[in-house]
Amino acid sequence: MKNDDSLETNFRSIYLFGRNVATYKFAFAKTILELGASKNSFISLEEMSPIFAKYMLEHIGNGKRQITSPTSKFISALDLHYHNQITWEQLLIVTEKIGFNNVIDAFHNLPNGETDKKFYEKSLQGKKLGITLTDNMYLLNESSQKQNLLSEVEGRWNLVESAWTEKNKKLEVKFDEILEQLFFLKPLTPQAFMLSHERIDLTSARKPLNGYQKGKCFYCYKGISIESSLETTCDIDHFVPLSTQFASKQDLDLNGVWNLVLTCKECNRGEVNGKFARLPAMYLLQRLDKRNEYLIESNHPLKETIIMRTGNNSQRRASFLNGIYEFATTLNRGEWKPTHEYDVEF
């Protein structure tokens, strides 16, 4: 996401590339996106608590880990309320008192500093602690990407909590073509020789992939949506066509995350110049490599899945892509490219 200082990219950087020891950052991101529609610039911790707790409870109910440390008083309180052992009012008291510890201060932090643009400032009004939303937050609220951002946060949250629950950073994430769902297979027994697995569904493939494409079609950069049944709803495309697999004697892993991109309908299956099962032009392979490197800058488990399949350094990953691409050209020599490309790049 280098060389792009847009509000959307700054906000995406927080939940895609920020370090996580708890999922509070995801809940807080959704909280301030919701608050961006508010007319009040100052939001007290008391006012934020019901929204923040609501988003946390949605994930407490799935039984997955929300924090890397062994214990957390806030997580315990959420769990108690979920099991009807404390009231909603009691939970809100705990949320206001300890739920925002660290997350407000650390929200804008990235591995190499802070985001260029801030979406709130920590503030005090009278005796009330809270935040003051900046103009950036209100402008972001008006963005056509807002709904995508909410869905992307949710998709990232689903991936992180699943990796923590399994205590395995190297989950191999797979793609279900029919359901367009990401999933992994969990062994039913710890013995390596046992072949029986339980399928664990993670999230719609659109949600985690969209942020790394900045809400744009991979091929033409036209704006896309990851919400269903809209005119701009994107397709999930295999960059190297699946038909390439049929001619190979080895598994090319063309259903792998490394080969999945989000596209507008016109590029993927348009009547005039749809890609369909054609192989994209060579310059688009370089774009795929760049997109995959964005994914790897983020933390598990899509990062680990791509590394396991394509190589443990950028040179090996580029060589992997080139090797499969060269094989695909022996079957499909007609290079496809979009009719028009818009200006915004990723």
Helix (H, G, I), strand (E, B) or coil at 337: coil
What pLDDT score does 20 carry? 85
Is there a contact between 257 and 305 (Cβ–Cβ < 8 Å)? yes
Confidence of residue 298 (pLDDT cuts 50, 70, 90): confident
Rounded to two decimals, what is the model's pTM? 0.92
Q: Mean pLDDT score of the chain, rounded to an integer? A: 93
pLDDT class of 346 with cuts at 50, 70, 90: confident
- Model confidence at 193: pLDDT above 60: no
| pLDDT score at 287 | 96
The pLDDT tens digits for 97-154 are 999 999 999 999 999 899 999 999 999 999 999 999 999 999 999 999 999 999 999 9
d(CA 234, CA 210): 10
And the tokens for 287?
Answer: 């774009």
Q: What value does the CA radius of gyration of the chain take, rounded to a whole number of Å?
A: 22
Considering the chain, what percentage of its residues have pLDDT values greater than 90? 83
Res 2 pLDDT > 80: no
Cα of 179 vs its chain's centroid, Å: 18
Cis previous bond, 208, omega within 30: no
Tokens of 192: 């390596």
